[in-house]
Chains A and B, each alone.
Chain A
């Protein structure tokens, strides 16, 4: 399982693969106000990116990886 959930916060693992996009989407559907902790994330598959862009969830923590963070910020804000 690439995620850990704490109440309404989803903590992503280092890598979100293409299969994880579905799980991510499910979780976001169940937790419309859920927050995402991406700090540990170093890369996520484009499908995940799509889900995030469509859902525009609250981001509790941006990735520590500067490049990824920059990309996500341009995509999600």
Chain B
């Protein structure tokens, strides 16, 4: 997996976490605009980052979320719980995707396409929230605090300085414009993009062509030069004179993002259907047009679109396809077919057609270059073909191959029709052919040819060339031929008054539909306030380093060895004095030792600091957890968290996470009551769950308390007896506190029904074990009706363990200091035997005694000192005291405890081993397991 992706994954999770927190904060205080800005920034950055990888699903959802956030920030959508829910769900989805990505093994990113449907759903939901608020993405003000300048500039660029002029689409063929029109009316977003790179852009390392060629979904493209090319000999290849024009199926925002580094060199105009509507072609006065217009307008007024379509088709068949009129009719049909609701557009087209009938047609500027010429050529060719067919059909001989000849002629005719687009005639032609074959005479075909509106001499211009026959345009003008019923349509701008000029005018932005674009484009662009992301990136120059944990662990091990090596110095000093009798040297070694010792300790501390994590690392997920659970359970809960900056070793924090979640769930499920119950009990309906963390000397104490119903010892006793955890005798003997502690027994559950939250009988015992594993303890206090309190106490760090060294039967052992309560000398006569067990009274307390040699099955009696006193190590196990008789208690040392591994791993009674300064191995006992 590449480092970029790794970083994205880690950062992504952090961002998600941040987003979740901000959302919850906002729920409490929706008016907090700083928080809102942060939230937006987080979502935005995450989206941006996700764009670096092939995870379109993630980007899509985040993009929707970003839009929604932006709308919320601008105050167009109110922040609500539903909105927060939706966003949280979206973030969960993103988290799933992140997990998928991080599960990837090879270099290849896993495909996330199976999430596509979900992504679309979430995206729609998010956008749906925006739509509900009334206006959609449209009017956005570039509120972005981060990068206001660039986006605005582009937005201005688009809306103010640049308009679609009549000439804009001159070079876009009608078929392509119609295609765009269809896409637009189907809801696609198309943009007109002009990109004029700087003259010196090549010197900045830009490749405008590459930039452009990377655009997806290009519907039409053109590249020209801004000025006449110089003669080749004088050409400066490195002075960029290119000008790209494109129609792209993408949102203005996406385009702005694509060209975000050259915002001043591009112009983006969102296309509207109306803007494309621009009939073109050879203009020819059309007497039928006026009549058609009248009929059509009447039909339109009556809303009879079917009849209108028919009428338009008929007229179209009568018109040569290269005529302006035909083009207008095709546009009319297109408009009627795809956007029947656009009555205005239809009217405009009609009005233009009407004027065509009335006056002398406009001379559209491009009529010569465009279809007209081509079609005229085609027409002539077609006429040749048709004449030839007529000659053939007129032959009067009755050759045996008459049928074949008829078929050949018919095929030629059909081909001609098809190439002229007069498919409508084909049926009639087929009928004629069938008739002709069955009658064995060409007459029906001739009749068809005469009646059909195919070419006559009346063509228009006749230009030569295009000599290929067979394709011809059979067209004609007024009287003649058919032409296919293509879709026509042709709304035109309202100012058709000029009639003719207007005809050639493409719609200009001033009319109804066009009116929309301006705001739209503005919106589209400013939606992306991030444009100069380059600048933004620098703001967050990281002050923290991300380091692989392995490296820290290595440091930790090294300092451990250092400590051990350092501990060897006092032995050396001792030897110098005792063995070699050099007292001076011994003293110097000792003073050096103290220096090294100080540095080593500081170093150890520093490394430990690195490993420290604030408990907020686990606390941070509680707000969401509590919110969701409370929601689900129909309870009202206020979560109070204190001391979340308290720090502890990473391992401890991580080990704590699951138990804490368990505990919080339990509190919510069993502890806190529903609002109704609480009110009946005279408590505020909102329950209170407090999670506190604080440091007490070298331990971290975490307290989780609620003000719920508490744990009833009676119920616990009962349940415990039912489940066979205690027998009757024990039942009697248990104090209330002991009874409550039974919830830690394996298999215990008080829940009546198993819910998905808790009640499966795994829980508190698992919690206790997990805490015990990291040398932690757990205490439970509860008062019926008042609430429950759990107190977890954990070591700050597990890396270095402070042990007390003891001696027994000539061997040295270690006992972790956190288990040691005290060490005392007990005279032999103070040891009593009660029921064959050794006990003694220590500070008015009865303490059972065990001999370590007995526990370790060493057949040696414990030694006493000169005064016949035993050395007793009093240890605390689960709150009970126990005296362990040893031969001798020695000093305490800091050691790096290594768990027993391999075959020794299964040995009970030992916490692990450590290396001592003199090179010997110290076995560290685990008193709890020893018993």
Question: In the complex, are the beta carbons of A50 and B242 less than 8 A apart?
Answer: yes
Question: In the complex, are the beta carbons of A55 and B207 less than 8 A apart?
Answer: no
B222 near A: Cβ within 8 Å?
yes
Question: In the complex, are the beta carbons of A46 and B232 less than 8 A apart?
Answer: no
- Given the interface contacts A67-B213, A74-B221, does A46 sit within 8 Å of B242 by beta carbon? yes
Stretch at the interface among B223-231, B569-577, B803-811, B911-919: B223-231
Question: In the complex, are the beta carbons of A46 and B233 less than 8 A apart?
Answer: no
**A residues 29-67 in Cβ contact with B at 8 Å:** 29, 32, 43-51, 53-55, 67
- Given the interface contacts A46-B197, A49-B242, does A28 sit within 8 Å of B213 by beta carbon? no
* Nearest Cβ on chain B to A10's Cβ, whole angstroms: 15
Report A-chain residues with C-beta under 8 Å of the C-beta of B235: 25, 50-51, 54-55
Question: In the complex, are the beta carbons of B221 and A51 less than 8 A apart?
Answer: no
Question: In the complex, are the beta carbons of A29 and B241 less than 8 A apart?
Answer: no
Question: In the complex, are the beta carbons of B229 and A53 less than 8 A apart?
Answer: yes
Question: In the complex, are the beta carbons of A44 and B238 less than 8 A apart?
Answer: no
B209 near A: Cβ within 8 Å?
yes
Report A-chain residues with C-beta under 8 Å of the C-beta of B222: 74
Question: In the complex, are the beta carbons of A47 and B238 less than 8 A apart?
Answer: yes
Question: In the complex, are the beta carbons of A51 and B237 less than 8 A apart?
Answer: yes
* Nearest Cβ on chain A to B21's Cβ, whole angstroms: 45
Give 1 or 0 for each of B235-251: 1 = CB within 8 Å of chain A CB. Answer: 10110111000000000
Question: In the complex, are the beta carbons of A29 and B213 less than 8 A apart?
Answer: no
Question: In the complex, are the beta carbons of A44 and B209 less than 8 A apart?
Answer: yes
A25 to B222, CA, bound (A): 22
B357 near A: Cβ within 8 Å?
no
Question: In the complex, are the beta carbons of A21 and B237 less than 8 A apart?
Answer: yes
Report B-chain residues with C-beta under 8 Å of the C-beta of A18: 202, 207, 238
Report A-chain residues with C-beta under 8 Å of the C-beta of B232: 25, 28-29, 32, 54-55
Question: In the complex, are the beta carbons of B221 and A70 less than 8 A apart?
Answer: yes
Question: In the complex, are the beta carbons of A46 and B240 less than 8 A apart?
Answer: yes
**A residues 3-32 in Cβ contact with B at 8 Å:** 18, 21-22, 24-25, 28-29, 32
B229 and chain A: residue at smallest CB distance: A54
- Given the interface contacts A25-B237, A29-B233, A50-B240, does A45 sit within 8 Å of B209 by beta carbon? yes
Question: In the complex, are the beta carbons of A75 and B223 less than 8 A apart?
Answer: yes
A77 to B213, CA, bound (A): 18
A43 to B202, CA, bound (A): 16
**B residues 196-218 in Cβ contact with A at 8 Å:** 197, 202, 207-210, 212-213
* Nearest Cβ on chain B to A49's Cβ, whole angstroms: 5
- Given the interface contacts A22-B237, A25-B235, does A46 sit within 8 Å of B221 by beta carbon? no
* Nearest Cβ on chain B to A48's Cβ, whole angstroms: 8
- Given the interface contacts A29-B233, A45-B210, does A53 sit within 8 Å of B225 by beta carbon? yes
Question: In the complex, are the beta carbons of A71 and B221 less than 8 A apart?
Answer: yes
A28 to B229, CA, bound (A): 15
Report A-chain residues with C-beta under 8 Å of the C-beta of B241: 50
A39 to B461, CA, bound (A): 40
| Interface SS majority for chain B | mixed
Question: In the complex, are the beta carbons of B229 and A49 less than 8 A apart?
Answer: no
* Nearest Cβ on chain B to A11's Cβ, whole angstroms: 20
* Nearest Cβ on chain B to A66's Cβ, whole angstroms: 11
Report B-chain residues with C-beta under 8 Å of the C-beta of A75: 223
A22 to B235, CA, bound (A): 10
Interface residues on B, range: 20 to 34
- Given the interface contacts A18-B207, A21-B238, A28-B232, does A43 sit within 8 Å of B213 by beta carbon? yes
Report A-chain residues with C-beta under 8 Å of the C-beta of B242: 46, 49-50, 53
A74 to B224, CA, bound (A): 9
Most buried by B among A49, A55, A74: A49
* Nearest Cβ on chain A to B647's Cβ, whole angstroms: 54
A77 to B117, CA, bound (A): 43
Partner of B209, one of A32, A46, A70: A46
A75 to B243, CA, bound (A): 11
A29 to B223, CA, bound (A): 23
Question: In the complex, are the beta carbons of A50 and B213 less than 8 A apart?
Answer: no
Question: In the complex, are the beta carbons of A47 and B240 less than 8 A apart?
Answer: yes
Question: In the complex, are the beta carbons of A68 and B213 less than 8 A apart?
Answer: yes
* Nearest Cβ on chain B to A45's Cβ, whole angstroms: 5
Question: In the complex, are the beta carbons of A49 and B238 less than 8 A apart?
Answer: no
Interface residues on A, range: 20 to 34
A50 to B212, CA, bound (A): 14
Report A-chain residues with C-beta under 8 Å of the C-beta of B223: 49, 53, 71, 74-75
Report A-chain residues with C-beta under 8 Å of the C-beta of B197: 46
* Nearest Cβ on chain A to B274's Cβ, whole angstroms: 26
A51 and chain B: residue at smallest CB distance: B237
Report A-chain residues with C-beta under 8 Å of the C-beta of B212: 71
A32 and chain B: residue at smallest CB distance: B232
Question: In the complex, are the beta carbons of A71 and B213 less than 8 A apart?
Answer: yes
Report B-chain residues with C-beta under 8 Å of the C-beta of A49: 209, 223, 242
Report B-chain residues with C-beta under 8 Å of the C-beta of A74: 221-223
A46 to B238, CA, bound (A): 9
A43 to B207, CA, bound (A): 11
Report B-chain residues with C-beta under 8 Å of the C-beta of A44: 209
Partner of B202, one of A32, A46, A55, A67: A46
A54 to B223, CA, bound (A): 12
Report B-chain residues with C-beta under 8 Å of the C-beta of A68: 213
Report A-chain residues with C-beta under 8 Å of the C-beta of B229: 50, 53-54
* Nearest Cβ on chain B to A58's Cβ, whole angstroms: 14
A2 to B408, CA, bound (A): 54
B237 and chain A: residue at smallest CB distance: A21
Report B-chain residues with C-beta under 8 Å of the C-beta of A54: 225, 229-230, 232, 235
Report A-chain residues with C-beta under 8 Å of the C-beta of B221: 70-71, 74
* Nearest Cβ on chain A to B397's Cβ, whole angstroms: 49
A55 to B209, CA, bound (A): 18
A76 and chain B: residue at smallest CB distance: B223
A17 and chain B: residue at smallest CB distance: B207
Report A-chain residues with C-beta under 8 Å of the C-beta of B230: 54
Question: In the complex, are the beta carbons of B213 and A47 less than 8 A apart?
Answer: no
Report B-chain residues with C-beta under 8 Å of the C-beta of A50: 225, 229, 235, 237, 240-242
A72 to B526, CA, bound (A): 34
Report A-chain residues with C-beta under 8 Å of the C-beta of B202: 18, 45-47
A16 to B210, CA, bound (A): 12
A77 to B779, CA, bound (A): 85
A32 to B232, CA, bound (A): 10
* Nearest Cβ on chain A to B892's Cβ, whole angstroms: 71
A24 to B230, CA, bound (A): 16
**B residues 241-290 in Cβ contact with A at 8 Å:** 241-242
A25 to B238, CA, bound (A): 11
* Nearest Cβ on chain B to A22's Cβ, whole angstroms: 6
Report B-chain residues with C-beta under 8 Å of the C-beta of A28: 232
B201 and chain A: residue at smallest CB distance: A46
A15 to B209, CA, bound (A): 13
* Nearest Cβ on chain A to B449's Cβ, whole angstroms: 38
* Nearest Cβ on chain A to B155's Cβ, whole angstroms: 27
A64 to B232, CA, bound (A): 27
Report B-chain residues with C-beta under 8 Å of the C-beta of A51: 235, 237
Report A-chain residues with C-beta under 8 Å of the C-beta of B240: 46-47, 50
A21 to B235, CA, bound (A): 11
A21 to B202, CA, bound (A): 11
A32 to B233, CA, bound (A): 11
Give 1 or 0 for each of B733-746: 1 = CB within 8 Å of chain A CB. Answer: 00000000000000
Report B-chain residues with C-beta under 8 Å of the C-beta of A53: 223, 225, 229, 242
* Nearest Cβ on chain A to B223's Cβ, whole angstroms: 5
Report B-chain residues with C-beta under 8 Å of the C-beta of A46: 197, 202, 207-210, 240, 242
Report B-chain residues with C-beta under 8 Å of the C-beta of A67: 213
Interface CB pairs A-B, < 8 A, 9: A18-B238, A25-B237, A43-B210, A46-B209, A47-B237, A48-B237, A50-B229, A50-B240, A71-B209
Given known contacts A46-B207, A46-B209, A53-B242, what 4 new A-B pairs fall within 8 Å (CB)? A49-B209, A50-B240, A71-B221, A74-B221
**Chain A residues near B (Cβ < 8 Å):** 18, 21-22, 24-25, 28-29, 32, 43-51, 53-55, 67-68, 70-71, 74-75
Give the 3 A-B residue pairs with the shortest CB-CB distance, closest first: A46-B209, A54-B229, A21-B237
